[in-house]
Chains A and B, each alone.
Chain A
Amino acid sequence: MAATLFEKLWREHLVESSADGEDLIYIDRIFLHERTGSIALSSLQADGRKVFCPEHVFCVMDHIVDTYPDRTDDTTMPSGRDFIVATRKGATEAGLTLFDLDDPRQGIVHVVSPEQGIVQPGLTLVCPDSHTCTQGALGALAWGIGSSEAEHALVTKTLRVKRPGTMRVRFEGELAPGVTAKDMILHLIGRYGAAGAAGCALEFAGSAVEALDIEARMTLCNMAVEFSAFTGLIAPDSKTIDYLRGRPYAPVGEQWALAEAHWRTLVSDPDAIFDRELVVDCGELEPQVTWGTSPQHAAAVTARVPGPRGDSAADRLELERALAYIGLAEGAALQGTAIDCAFIGSCTNARISDLRLAADVLRGNKVSAGVRAICVPGSMQVKAQAEAEGLDKVFTDAGFEWRSSGCSMCFYAGGEHFGERQRVISTTNRNFESRQGPQTRTHLASPATVAASAIAGAIVDPRDYLPGGNR
Chain B
Amino acid sequence: MEKFEQHRGVAAPILRPNVDTDAIIPSREMKRVSKLGLGDGLFAGWRYREIGGRDVNPDFVLNKPEYAGASILLSGPNFGCGSSREHAVWALKEFGIRAVIAPGFGAIFANNCIRNGLLPLVLDEEAVAAIAAWVEQAPQDRQPLIDLPAQVVEADGVRYSFEIDAGDKRMLVEGLDAIALTQTHWSVIEQFHAARKERYPWVY
Interface presence of B81 (CB below 8 A): yes
CB pair B23–A255 under 8 Å, yes or no, is no
Contact with B along A108-137 (1 / 0, CB 8 A): 000000000000101100001110000000
CB distance from B106 to the nearest CB of A (A): 7
Q: Which residues of chain A come closer than 8 Å to B179, judged between CB atoms? A: 49, 151-152, 155-156
CB distance from A311 to the nearest CB of B (A): 14
CB pair A439–B106 under 8 Å, yes or no, is no
CB distance from B27 to the nearest CB of A (A): 4
A42, A49, A162 interface centre (most CB from chain B within 10 Å) = A162
CB distance from B45 to the nearest CB of A (A): 6
CB distance from B115 to the nearest CB of A (A): 4
Interface presence of B33 (CB below 8 A): yes
Q: Which residues of chain A come closer than 8 Å to B56, judged between CB atoms? A: none
- Which residue of B16, B27, B84, B116 contacts A145 across the interface (Cβ within 8 Å)? B84
Q: Which residues of chain B come closer than 8 Å to A28, judged between CB atoms? A: 203
The CA-CA distance from A317 to B15 in the complex, in Å, is 10
- Which residue of B17, B35, B125, B196 contacts A43 across the interface (Cβ within 8 Å)? B35
Among residues of B, the one whose C-beta sits closest to the C-beta of A144 is: B84
Interface presence of B161 (CB below 8 A): no
The CA-CA distance from A438 to B51 in the complex, in Å, is 6
CB pair A42–B28 under 8 Å, yes or no, is no
B179, B192, B202 interface centre (most CB from chain A within 10 Å) = B202
If A79-B31, A145-B111, A414-B28 touch, whether A433 touches B189 (CB-CB below 8 Å) is no
Interface presence of B188 (CB below 8 A): yes
Interface presence of A395 (CB below 8 A): no
The CA-CA distance from A265 to B112 in the complex, in Å, is 34
- Which residue of A79, A129, A194 contacts B18 across the interface (Cβ within 8 Å)? A194
Contact with B along A247-269 (1 / 0, CB 8 A): 00001000110110010000000
Q: Which residues of chain A come closer than 8 Å to B69, judged between CB atoms? A: none
Main secondary structure of the interface of A (DSSP, over half): loop
Contact with B along A310-354 (1 / 0, CB 8 A): 000010011001000000000000000000000000000000000
Q: Please, how many residues of chain A have a CB less than 8 angstroms from a CB on the other chain?
A: 73
Q: Which residues of chain B come closer than 8 Å to A199, judged between CB atoms? A: 107
Q: Which of A14-22, A95-103, A167-175, A366-374 lies at the interface?
A: A14-22
Contact with B along A140-152 (1 / 0, CB 8 A): 0000111111011
Interface presence of A432 (CB below 8 A): yes
The CA-CA distance from A256 to B203 in the complex, in Å, is 10
Interface presence of A396 (CB below 8 A): no
CB distance from B89 to the nearest CB of A (A): 7
CB pair B108–A16 under 8 Å, yes or no, is no
Q: Which residues of chain A come closer than 8 Å to B45, judged between CB atoms? A: 433-434
The CA-CA distance from A432 to B27 in the complex, in Å, is 12
Contact with B along A359-386 (1 / 0, CB 8 A): 0000000000000000000000000000
Number of A-B contacts (CB under 8 A): 172
CB pair A198–B104 under 8 Å, yes or no, is yes
CB pair A162–B165 under 8 Å, yes or no, is yes
Among residues of B, the one whose C-beta sits closest to the C-beta of A309 is: B17
CB pair B18–A15 under 8 Å, yes or no, is no
Q: Which residues of chain A come closer than 8 Å to B111, judged between CB atoms? A: 145-146, 149
Interface presence of B170 (CB below 8 A): yes
Q: Which residues of chain B come closer than 8 Å to A321, judged between CB atoms? A: 16
17 A-B pairs (CB sep. < 8 Å):
A21-B165, A22-B165, A49-B179, A144-B108, A145-B84, A146-B89, A158-B189, A160-B167, A198-B107, A256-B202, A258-B202, A294-B18, A414-B27, A420-B51, A430-B22, A434-B22, A435-B22
Given contacts A36-B85, A432-B23, A434-B26, 18 further A-B contacts (CB under 8 A): A19-B166, A20-B170, A22-B167, A26-B189, A26-B196, A35-B30, A43-B35, A122-B200, A146-B85, A156-B182, A157-B189, A157-B193, A162-B165, A198-B107, A255-B201, A317-B16, A433-B23, A434-B22
Per CB-CB distance, the 4 closest pairs between chain A and chain B, nearest first, are A20-B166, A438-B51, A414-B28, A20-B167
B interface residues, Cβ below 8 angstroms from A: 15-18, 20, 22-23, 26-28, 30-35, 45, 51-52, 76-78, 81-86, 89, 104, 106-108, 111-112, 115-116, 125, 165-170, 178-179, 182-183, 185-186, 188-189, 192-193, 196, 200-203
